[in-house]
């Protein structure tokens, strides 16, 4: 296994020291009575915030446990943002609707807090049931529910409802109220957006819907394309849950890079969101001729807000047929987590430029085919970076992602400046460079990854592996590491068979897959590894596979538009 002390340079040694000496098993914390520190919850994660005058090299160790249990678990230390005098970071992989106790030890100060993850169950109050069949009405939801009694819009029980104005209304549904659930509808042929969520609305769930054929097709070739969206959330909208929906075949189209920056329809757009959003288990696809600009995106990109802004999760989605960014997560990116997505047929897989606040976590995603234009199959970057003052300086973590070949991404990071980015345990299989900068801009720390490209540059991947990965064959979207791979043994290799002897020049030999057990420990991200160490990439041998898309969670949910 790789030397684990190399994680985050000296930080892991300090972190492990803290776990032993700052958090002895029998230690009891004095509860913090103020709202500092604080936690912001989603279903499976907690974002932590601790205002404290400190320095960048001060360690803020974190441990947590379910309330009422004895065993503590450790996670990565919080990152310190000197601009805000604040420690920030996330705990991932939690259970919904569960209370946790969190202990922080920062520069000699020890505090605890309790926080409960959000419930996945939404109690329904008022129900607005739509008649079976097809309607051309533009529906305006103006009556809010409450946190204890949500307002549900859905078909009549056992019926299928299609809202199809055949391009005679701008929207299928306009949401002007909060605590609203839109469930199980088929939305077609809106002139602009299928669902428009008005400014300042909060707590809206869109689930199990089929959203198709939205948007305008009459547009100039480039730079002036419509960003008509399946779901469009205006400024300040917060706490959206967009789950298990099918977005396909927008009416508009997006130009490729032969005609300048892509411009065209999007599946989901959030504009300077209020945060707290969860976008999960959706399937977003189209044809190449009617592809997306960004599948999940919005703005403002260079800002202290943006999309999805803060305390948000994007996971379990299948995304394809995109000409710019499959997932555009740009702006603050403060405790934003992007994981477990399968991304295919795009230019850039994930775009976190800029990350003005941070931290942002990108982990266990699978990066498939990437292409530049219809005619040019050369891929783009896996991850877009870049920033400028004052919208810069936020921390990015890039852990355990798998990039596939052939016809995958050309480079790992885009041509823009990269800073304050930490990568570990990724399979970066590509033909081009790791980054286009020869030396990292401190505190960029790219190391302990498998990289196959042309050049690692200087001071990158000092403990990385330069070898070919291989994966077990599967009919599913599963990419477990194969036990062996092949490599060229340079020079002359003697061979003896049946009494005959000869030499083979640059022989191809079979060797153990170098990515197996080769990762470094990342507390909270790979504690469940099965071998001598964590496997590199998104899949851990011996663990259940990642699941993507609408049927990722069991039992599968089938909507009226696919059963009626």
> Which CATH number fits the domain that encloses residue 68?
2.60.40.10
Of 309 and 5, the structure prediction assigns the larger pLDDT to: 309
The answer to whether 187 and 163 have CB atoms below 8 angstroms apart is: yes
Q: Is 8 part of any domain? A: yes
Secondary structure, 3-state, 265-286: CEEEEEECCCECCEEECCEEEC
Dump pLDDT digits (tens) for 404-430.
Answer: 999 999 999 998 888 899 999 999 999
Distance of alpha carbon 380 from alpha carbon 80, whole angstroms: 32
Residues 112 and 142 in one domain: no
Whether the Cβ atoms of residue 181 and residue 207 lie closer than 8 Å to each other:
yes
Q: Which of 64, 85, 116 is the last residue of a domain?
A: 116
CA–CA dist 32, 365 (Å, integer): 36
Domain total for the chain? 3
Both 347 and 272 in one domain: the answer is: yes
SS3 561: helix
Q: What's the pLDDT score for residue 222?
A: 43
Considering the domain architecture, whether residues 205 and 301 belong to the same structural domain is answered as yes
pLDDT at res. 217: 80
The proportion of the chain whose per-residue pLDDT surpasses 70, expressed as a percent, equals 92
Distance CA 552, CA 281 (A): 7
Q: 388 falls in which pLDDT band (50, 70, 90)?
A: confident
81 & 228 share domain: no
Tell whether the model's pLDDT for residue 451 goes beyond 80: yes
User: Distance between alpha carbon 144 and the CA centroid of its chain, in Å?
Assistant: 30
Mean pLDDT of the chain: 92
Task: Determine the pLDDT at residue 220.
Answer: 56
> Does residue 292 fall inside a structural domain?
yes
User: Of 81, 116, 151, which residue is a domain's last?
Assistant: 116
Answer whether 0.85 is exceeded by the pTM.
yes
Note whether residue 507 is domain-resident.
yes
Distance in angstroms (rounded) separating the CA atoms of residues 284 and 318? 6
Q: Return phi, psi of residue 300, to 5°.
A: -85, 140
pLDDT average, residue stretch 59-74: 98
Question: Residue 355: helix, strand or coil by DSSP?
Answer: strand
Do 96 and 143 have their domain in common? no
With respect to residue 295, please indicate whether it lies within any of the assigned structural domains.
yes
**What per-residue confidence (pLDDT) applies to 28?**
34
- Report residue 8's pLDDT band, with 50, 70 and 90 as the boundaries: very low
- Measured between alpha carbons, how far is residue 117 from residues 47, 68, 237, 242, 307 in Å? 10, 15, 20, 17, 22
Does 231 lie in the same domain as 97? Answer: no
Q: Give the N- to C-terminal CA distance of the chain in Å, as an integer.
A: 54
Are residues 75 and 110 located together in one domain of the fold? Answer: yes
Residue 440 pLDDT = 72
**What is the per-residue pLDDT across 341-369, written as a single tens digit (0 to 9) for each?**
999 999 999 999 999 999 999 999 999 99
112 and 52, same domain (yes or no): yes
Asked if residue 3 has pLDDT above 50, the reply is: no
Q: Is residue 96 part of a domain?
A: yes
Does the pLDDT at position 462 exceed 60?
Answer: yes
229 and 109, same structural domain? no
Closest CA to 147 of 57, 55, 239: 239
In this predicted structure, the answer to whether residue 30 has a pLDDT above a threshold of 70 is no
In this structure, how many other beta carbons lie within 10 angstroms of the beta carbon of residue 254? 28
Q: What is the helix (H) or strand (E) element at residue 19, kind and residue range?
A: helix 11-21
Res 529: pLDDT: 98
The mean pLDDT of 311-340, rounded to a whole number, is: 99
Q: Does residue 106 surpass a pLDDT of 50? A: yes
Q: Would you list the DSSP string of 493-525? A: EEEEETTEEEEEEEEEEEEE-TTTT-PPP-TTT
Q: What share of the chain is helix, strand, coil (3-state, %, to 5)?
A: 5, 40, 55
Same domain, 274 and 360: yes
Rounded to whole angstroms, how far apart are CA atoms 91 and 73? 10
User: Tens of pLDDT along 516-564?
Assistant: 999 999 999 999 999 999 999 999 999 999 999 999 998 999 999 999 9
Specify the range with the lowest mean pLDDT, choosing from 7-16, 62-71, 164-173, 454-463.
7-16
CATH number at residue 273: 2.160.20
| Cβ atoms of residues 393 and 418 within 8 Å | no
Question: For residue 416, what pLDDT is reported?
Answer: 86
CA distances from 385 to 148, 166, 218, 453 (A): 41, 40, 32, 18
C-alpha span between 104 and 481 (Å, rounded): 36
149 and 236 share one domain: yes
Residue 461 inside a domain? The answer is no
Residue 467 burial by Cβ neighbours in a 10 Å radius (0-12, 13-18, 19+): middle
- Non-local (6+) Cβ contacts of 497 within 8 A are none
Q: Residue 560 falls within a domain, yes or no?
A: no
Given a contact cutoff of 8 angstroms between Cβ atoms, the answer to whether 205 and 181 are in contact is: yes
Residues near 209 by Cβ (< 8 Å), separated by ≥ 6?
A: 182, 183, 184, 185, 186, 187, 245, 246, 559, 561
The range of the structural domain enclosing residue 48 comes to 4-116
Distance of CA 281 to the CA centre of its chain: 12
Q: What pLDDT does 319 receive? A: 99
Rounded Cα gap, residues 328 and 308, in angstroms? 9
Same domain? For 109 and 153 the reply is: no
Q: How confident is the model at residue 225 (pLDDT cuts 50, 70, 90)?
A: low
> CA of 392: how far to CAs of 90, 107, 419, in Å?
20, 26, 9
If you average pLDDT over each of 231-240, 385-394, 442-451, which comes out highest?
Answer: 231-240
Residue 425 domain flag: no
Question: Is pLDDT above 60 for 6?
Answer: no
Specify the higher pLDDT residue, 1 or 211: 211
Rounded average pLDDT over 310-338: 99
Order of strands across the sheet that contains 86-91: 38-41, 46-51, 86-91, 79-81
Give the tens place of pLDDT for each residue, 471-482.
Answer: 999 999 999 999
Q: Is the pLDDT of residue 34 over 90?
A: no
Could you tell me the pLDDT band of residue 2, with boundaries at 50, 70 and 90?
very low
Asked if 100 and 64 touch (Cβ cutoff 8 Å), the reply is: yes
Bridge partners (DSSP) of residue 485 are 511
* Mean local confidence (pLDDT), 437-462: 85
């Amino acid at each position: 296994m790789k030397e684990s002390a190399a994680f985050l340079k000296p930080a892991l040694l300090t972190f492990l020291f803290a776990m032993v000496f700052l958090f002895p098993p029998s230690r009891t914390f004095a509860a913090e009575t103020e709202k500092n520190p604080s936690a912001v919850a989603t279903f499976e994660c907690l974002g932590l915030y601790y205002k404290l005058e400190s320095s960048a090299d001060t360690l803020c160790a974190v441990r947590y446990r379910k309330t009422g249990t004895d065993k503590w678990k450790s996670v990565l230390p919080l990152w310190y943002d000197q601009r805000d005098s604040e420690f920030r970071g996330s705990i991932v992989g939690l259970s919904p609707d569960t209370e946790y106790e969190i202990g922080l030890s920062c520069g000699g100060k020890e505090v605890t807090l309790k926080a409960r993850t959000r419930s996945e169950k939404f109690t329904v109050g008022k129900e607005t049931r739509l008649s079976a069949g097809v309607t051309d009405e533009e529906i305006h939801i103006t009556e809010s529910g409450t946190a204890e009694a949500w307002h549900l819009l859905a078909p009549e029980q056992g019926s299928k409802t299609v809202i199809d104005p055949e391009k005679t209304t701008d929207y299928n549904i306009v949401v002007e109220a909060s605590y609203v659930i839109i469930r199980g509808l088929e939305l077609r042929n809106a002139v602009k957006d299928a669902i428009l969520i008005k400014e300042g609305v909060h707590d809206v769930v869109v689930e199990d819907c089929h959203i198709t054929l939205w948007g305008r097709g009459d547009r100039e070739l480039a730079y002036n394309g419509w960003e008509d969206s399946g779901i469009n959330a205006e400024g300040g909208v917060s706490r959206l849950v967009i789950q298990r929906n099918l977005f396909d075949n927008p009416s508009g189209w997006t130009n490729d890079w032969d005609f300048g920056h892509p411009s065209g329809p999007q599946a989901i757009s959030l504009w300077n969101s209020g945060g707290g959003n969860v976008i999960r288990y959706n399937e977003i696809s189209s044809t190449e001729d009617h592809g997306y600009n960004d599948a999940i995106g919005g703005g403002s990109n260079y800002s202290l807000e943006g999309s999805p802004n803060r305390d948000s999760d994007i996971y379990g989605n299948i995304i394809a047929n995109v000409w710019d960014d499959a997932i555009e997560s740009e702006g603050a990116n403060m405790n934003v987590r992007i994981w477990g997505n399968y991304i295919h047929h795009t230019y850039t897989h994930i775009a976190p430029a800029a990350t003005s606040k941070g931290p942002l976590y990108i982990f266990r995603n699978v990066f498939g085919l990437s292409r530049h234009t219809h005619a040019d199959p050369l891929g783009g970057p896996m991850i877009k970076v870049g920033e400028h003052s004052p919208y810069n300086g936020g921390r990015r973590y890039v852990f355990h992602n798998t990039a596939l070949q052939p016809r995958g991404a050309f480079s790992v990071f885009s041509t823009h400046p990269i800073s304050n980015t930490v990568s570990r345990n990724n399979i970066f299989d590509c033909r081009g460079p790791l980054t286009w900068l020869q030396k990292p801009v401190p505190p960029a720390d790219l190391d302990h990854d498998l990289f196959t490209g042309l050049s690692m540059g200087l001071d990158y991947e000092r403990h990385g592996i330069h070898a070919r990965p291989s994966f077990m064959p599967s009919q599913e979207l599963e990419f477990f590491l194969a036990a062996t791979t092949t490599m060229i043994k340079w020079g002359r290799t003697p061979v003896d068979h049946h009494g005959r002897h000869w030499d083979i020049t640059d022989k191809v030999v079979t060797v153990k897959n170098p990515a197996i057990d080769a990762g470094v420990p990342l507390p909270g991200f790979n504690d469940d590894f099965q071998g001598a160490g964590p496997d590199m990439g998104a899949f851990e041998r011996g663990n259940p596979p990642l699941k993507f898309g609408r049927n990722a969670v069991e039992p599968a949910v089938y909507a009226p538009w696919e059963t009626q």
